[in-house]
Amino acid sequence: MTELLLRSLEASTVFLLAALGELISQRSGVLNVGLEGLMLFGGTAAFILTQATHSYLAGVGVALAAGAFLGLLHGFFSVTLRGDQVVSGMGLWILSFGLTTYLGSPHTGPLGIQRLPPVLGLSPFVAVALALVLGCWLLLFRTAAGLAIRSVGENPAAAAASGVDVRAVRYLCVVAGGALAGLGGAAYTLSYNPVWNYNFLMGWGFVSLALVFFSMWNPWLLLGGSVLFGVMWQLSLNPELVLPGVLSRYVWRAIPFVTTIAILALISTQWFRTRWGLAKPEALGLPHAPE
Amino acid sequence: MKPRRAEYSSVVAHPVLRAGVAVGLALGAASVLFWASGADPLAAYRVMFGYGFLNPSGLVASLHRAIYLALCTSAFIVPLRAGLWNVGLPGQVYAGALAAYAVPFVLGLHRTLSGQPGFAVPLLMAVAAAVAGAFLGGLVGFLRARMQVNEILVTMMLNSALFWIVSDFIKEGGPFMSATAEGESFTLPDPLRPALWAGLPPTALGAVGVALVVDFVFSRTAAGYRVRAFGLNPRAARYAGIDPVRVSLGVFAVGGALAGLAGYHYFAAVPGLYKIPTNYGYYGDLSFYGIICGLIARGSAMGALPMALLFAGMSLGGRFAQGALRLPFGVDYAILGLLMTTFVATHLLDRARLPLRPRSTRLAQPGKTRAEGTL
Amino acid sequence: MADGNGTTRRTHPNAKDRPVVLAARGITKRFPGVVALAGVDLDVREGEVHAVLGQNGAGKTTLMNILFGLVQPDEGEVYVRGQRVRFRSPHDALARGIGMVHQTRRLVAAHTVLENVLLGHPGARGLVDFAAARRQVAALCERYGVRVDLNARVWQLSEGEKQWVEILKALHAGARLLILDEPTSALTPPEVEALLRAVRALVSEHGVTVLLVTHKLPLVRAVAHTITVLRAGSVAARLDAGQASDAELVRHMVGQEVAPVALEGAAGQSGPVVLEVEDLWAYGDKGTWALRGVSFEVRAGEVLGVAGVSGNGQEELAQVLAGLRPAASGRVRFEGRDITHRPPLDRWRMGMGYVPADRNGVASVAPFTLVENTGLNYHFDRELCRRGLLDYRRLEELTRRILATFQVRAPHPYAQAQQLSGGNLQKLVVGRVLSRRPRLLVAHLPTQGLDVEATAFVRAQLLEARAQGAAVLLLSEDLEEVLSLSDRVATLYEGRMVSVLPREAVDVRIVGALMAGGRAQGVAP
């Protein structure tokens, strides 16, 4: 049971890192539905480089760089060209889905090097993610930069009139968000499940995206949501621990996804919206045309 | 009907050019990948296109796949015209396949041993597939219309959920599990297979017919008009008295039905398969080619047909080339990804050019991109 | 502009010896297809209220955006205290002590007042001590006599309070010159009074310089010391407030005579009741009451004008009548039939017409052709839609007729709606709605943002519809518009219809007070 919890926390970390990146990006008003793609790329790049160099640090570095680069591309499409952010995000996802399958397939199999030394029985990624939650909260709610980020996501025209450089803020957020998504992918392939397989995420990125919506764009609620989903995920992998013999193991695998839909529907009800609807960044997904 | 100029410039002339550029760029980028993997790109293309379009058995397989892609494309286009993204094609394909196989299973026909290919049961199976897809799509449409639930998230969640549900049905003692092999469904006996004409199942006619009808509906009917108005400006559509719930529900139900039909086609009407194989996930992934087809064809279902054939041949030939030239696994996936990127690039570069076009009648508004002044 | 702080000025600051704090020389700005500003000069002297007067489209806002660094001029120079400056962003302008209060609010609605005041403050870097900042801003409020809850979310505030937040924000950022762009456009008359008092106090007691941008003559009359009149991107006149007569100012502003459109003849020829609204309640977007028991009726052949400041339920009333917003309780009857819960389509079929306020976002589909846009009002019409097919050829004929009848300047019926100017688009929208010959017309802000000519045309069309026997409900923020077009006048304040007065009994001051929630005195309801 303890082991299940520890595994759950490691799963949560993957969700958390990626979702935290998306949260920052969305707080500045940029929606990146290609989150899963960024994670796939970060995870694959980290896996290949770590296998080649036997250095986890190099893997993490390349994951951050790959995610940041894709974030930069998304920023160029959605901030500079002011294109449809959904088109660009879906493009990034399918691009990564296709390319990582090709680039990673020669490396299919386990990582094959010594595992990361645990910190308090947990992967070091867990500690990093927790520190990032605190950092992200401080940044967004306790600094002038955070005020600027939130304002850009709510009302870019108002922010611009106050002298905030809307483009710069959005670029920074979408690049930082991309880097975190890449890190989330690395947490998966280097620590949570260090075996490369084509399309290894199978929906983790989209669940992370949903978690951002569940979190009301608040890092602490995001932490809670990620832990819950991590536990649910591990339980769906090992249903015999709770309800042995009930339903086939495949049906259990489907349950986190169905739960996600149910929660999405719940937070979209009129009742919920009128009470908590203000949390959503008003300008999310809308390009800003400077005056 | 008189030519509608605005439509002509945006749906016919440009897209052909843009599609050509997108495909060309993607192939160019792919040759870098081939070269990096130690293969001669030209040889790779020769093998790829040679198998996909010139080899007789390859060509038939390409056609079968093109039918599938064409149906998936229409399934993507119909909601897209309403501004909604149906990325739930794999899930709806799986739902269609399961429903199709449920028909002989429930009727107890799956143990039949011999007979001639028929019509009645296959038709019933196709209808069941379409209904299942429509139901799954309708759920997405309902959530979207009534509660504004993000359709991309819901469809992606359904893709993953349905993926596992299929496993539940065909693996480890699932109801559709074959008696002989682990991990795949029972094989359809002859009487449950649709008759072929020139090597093609009736779904070929269905795919072309669907494309014709889709384009006709959008260009000529009031219903199509309402969907387009809703897709471009939902608030204006509401003002015009167009019911958003009916539009969202309708387009997703139709899209789901078409994807379900695509599932029926590939898993129950194509020679050489006639079962849900272990690697059914691969067929689900292929449906994403439908998204690219629809995007590159700019919402024109007929325009997407040649594209579907091209991509079918390329993905099939790519797989073949992979084996012949010992390329890494996933050439077809790589091309998929590159096509998407080059599409997005050409699409957005085209958009970026827009402000430079002269706007004769438009009055100046502060806030527009600066361009050449005329006075 | 650190000085000018200690001395208190009570003398009339019109003297020419005061230093010029802000000057513009030969400012030219071109946008595609039009020259917004052509060589504009401007001199603003310290401690004065300098009014820039001009009609919509005269280039006032563009000029201010240039002075505030939001827009870069194509030619010309800006000087602050004689020193040449180049503002690349509002930051640069703020650093020189120039603050701006925009016509459309530039506040983050979901954030608190304090957060809005702090946003973009030049001194804010790194971690922000919100408690200390709150004390600072509270002290500032004290000094200028501003009463506003710093913890309130901006969306909860009234328009007048929001404006205070903007002024507070500019002052907190160190502004010594305030640009006020159409500051009264969303305010009720008492709020306008309060603002004018505050402007006078800022200038005389705190030595702030105010650059007031407006098209409203009374406002200029009330506070300005110096007036610059802009017309079509050029300076038409520079005057001392004391010297200029109203007639002279109007002549400079307009450049020509425009015949006003107004109702002719007395009321009283109205027919049977067409629209009957009874104790109507409805929620706004935030889940609070937007309409609180509204009752009225409109008869055939009359215009009922409803005056109200935005945010007092006009939008919601129009939407409920159009079926686009559910009524929480109450009744709406059209020609005797209860339509309270009927969907919009039923209403259009029955003979209602609606001209929404937002012509770009609601009344048209920007990338659609004009023909397709006409379809918005006709896609359900039996004449054009047979057996599910939409007859695009007849839709085109219809569109051509509308373009001709309603004087829409468009290259051809297959132009896209987004190619039309605001005035032409509005004429098209009005034309589409009126071409169905509705027996009830609901028009919400039908002339908002239109030029003089288009405004006159649209108003004439409303009166034409009335002459044809339609019942017209006009919802407007423009008091003058309501008074000149309506047979009867009502006011809407905080979701309540205050009273319905016959035209003869109407007085601008009374209606103005009613818009602001006051009570009609000496007038029978």
pLDDT in tens, A81-136: 888 888 889 889 989 998 999 889 889 999 888 888 888 778 899 999 999 999 99
- The pTM of this model reads 0.86
The DSSP code for A114 is P
The string of pLDDT tens digits covering residues A16-71 is 999 999 999 999 999 999 999 999 999 999 999 999 999 999 999 999 999 999 99
Nearest Cα residue in chain A from B349: A81
Which of A87, A96, A249 lies at the smallest CB-CB distance from B347?
A: A87
Q: Given this model, what pLDDT does residue C521 score?
A: 40
Give the separation between CA C50 and CA C238, rounded to whole angstroms: 10
Alpha-carbon gap, residue C43 to C26, rounded angstroms: 12
Q: Do A83 and B348 touch (CB under 8 A)?
A: yes
Beta bridge partners of C369: C416
The residue in chain C having the minimum alpha-carbon distance to the alpha carbon of residue B1 is C393
What is the rounded distance in angstroms from the CA atom of residue C335 to the CA atom of residue C299? Answer: 10
Residue of A nearest to C288 (CA): A274
* pLDDT band per the 50, 70, 90 thresholds, residue A256: very high
* DSSP-H helix ranges across C264-360: 314-322, 344-350
Sort B363 into a burial class: Cβ within 10 Å, 0-12 / 13-18 / 19+.
Answer: middle
Chain C residues inside the 8 Å CB shell of A160: 70, 90
Contact B361 C419 (CB under 8 A): yes
Task: Name the C residues in 341-380 with CB < 8 Å from any B CB.
Answer: 343-348, 354, 356, 358, 361-369, 371-372, 375-377, 379-380
Taking contacts as CB-CB distances below 8 angstroms, the residues of chain A near B330 are: 98, 101-102, 105, 198
Q: Quote the distance between the C-alpha of residue C270 and its chain's center.
A: 31
Put simply, the answer to whether B337 touches A291 (Cβ < 8 Å) is no
Interface of C with A (CB under 8 A): 65, 70-71, 89-91, 94, 100, 102, 105-111, 115-116, 118-122, 124-128, 130, 153, 155, 169, 286-287
- Beta-carbon separation of C124 and A160 below 8 A: no
Average pLDDT value over all residues in chain A: 91
CA C244 to chain CA centroid, Å, is: 27
Q: What is the pLDDT of residue C5?
A: 38
CB atoms within 10 A of CB A259: 18
Inspect the interface and report whether the beta carbons of A143 and C126 lie closer than 8 Å. yes
Averaged confidence pLDDT in chain B: 85
Residue C10 CB: number of other CB atoms within 10 A? 7
Provide Rg for chain C, Cα atoms: 25
Q: What is the pLDDT along chain C (525 residues), one digit of tens a residue?
A: 333 333 333 345 455 678 899 999 999 998 766 788 999 999 999 999 999 988 766 788 889 999 998 889 999 999 999 899 999 888 889 889 999 998 778 899 889 999 999 998 877 778 888 899 999 999 988 888 888 899 999 988 887 888 889 999 999 988 899 999 888 877 777 788 888 988 998 898 888 999 999 877 778 888 999 999 988 888 988 988 888 777 788 778 776 544 455 555 445 567 899 999 999 999 987 778 899 999 999 999 999 999 887 778 899 999 999 999 999 999 999 999 999 999 999 999 999 999 999 988 899 999 999 999 999 999 999 888 888 899 999 999 999 999 999 988 888 899 999 888 888 899 999 999 999 999 999 999 998 877 777 888 999 999 999 999 999 999 988 777 888 899 998 888 888 887 777 877 776 666 666 665 554 443 333
Quote ipTM for the complex.
0.90
Separation CA A218–CA A241 (nearest Å): 32
Q: Is B243 on the interface with A (CB under 8 A)?
A: no
CB-CB contact of A252 with A239 (8 Å)? yes
CB atoms near residue A117 (< 10 Å):
8
Q: Does C398 touch chain B (CB under 8 A)?
A: no
Hey, is the C-beta of B8 within 8 angstroms of any chain C C-beta?
no
Whole-number Cα distances in Å, A290 to A155, A156, A160, B369 = 12, 9, 8, 8
The confidence score (pLDDT) of residue C251 equals 78
**Which residue in A has a C-alpha nearest to residue C284's C-alpha?**
A274
**CA dihedral angle for residue A222, residue A225, residue A231, residue A234, rounded to 10 degrees:** -80
The alpha carbon torsion through B200, B205, B206, B208 (nearest 10 deg) reads 120
* A245 burial level (CB within 10 Å; 0-12, 13-18, 19+): exposed
Residue B325 to residue B35: CA distance in whole angstroms = 12
CA distance A158 to chain C (A): 4
The pLDDT profile of chain B, 375 residues, written as one tens digit per residue, is: 343 444 434 444 466 787 888 889 998 998 898 888 888 899 999 999 999 999 999 999 999 999 999 999 999 999 999 999 999 999 999 999 999 999 999 888 877 667 776 778 899 999 999 999 999 999 999 999 888 888 999 999 999 999 999 999 998 878 888 887 678 888 888 888 888 888 899 999 999 999 999 999 999 999 999 999 999 999 999 999 999 999 999 999 999 999 999 999 999 999 888 999 988 999 999 999 999 999 888 888 998 999 999 999 999 998 898 888 888 888 888 888 898 888 888 876 666 544 333 333 333 233 222 222 222
Q: Spell out the residues 6+ positions from residue B354 whose beta carbon is closer than 8 angstroms to its own.
A: none
Exposed e or buried b per residue across C258-291, where buried means at least 16 C-beta atoms within 10 angstroms of its C-beta: eeebebeeebeebeeebbbbbebbbbbeeeebbb
Instruction: Please answer whether residues C281 and C298 qualify as being in contact, where contact means their C-beta atoms are separated by less than 8 angstroms.
Output: no
Examine the pLDDT at A177 and tell me if it is beyond 60. Answer: yes
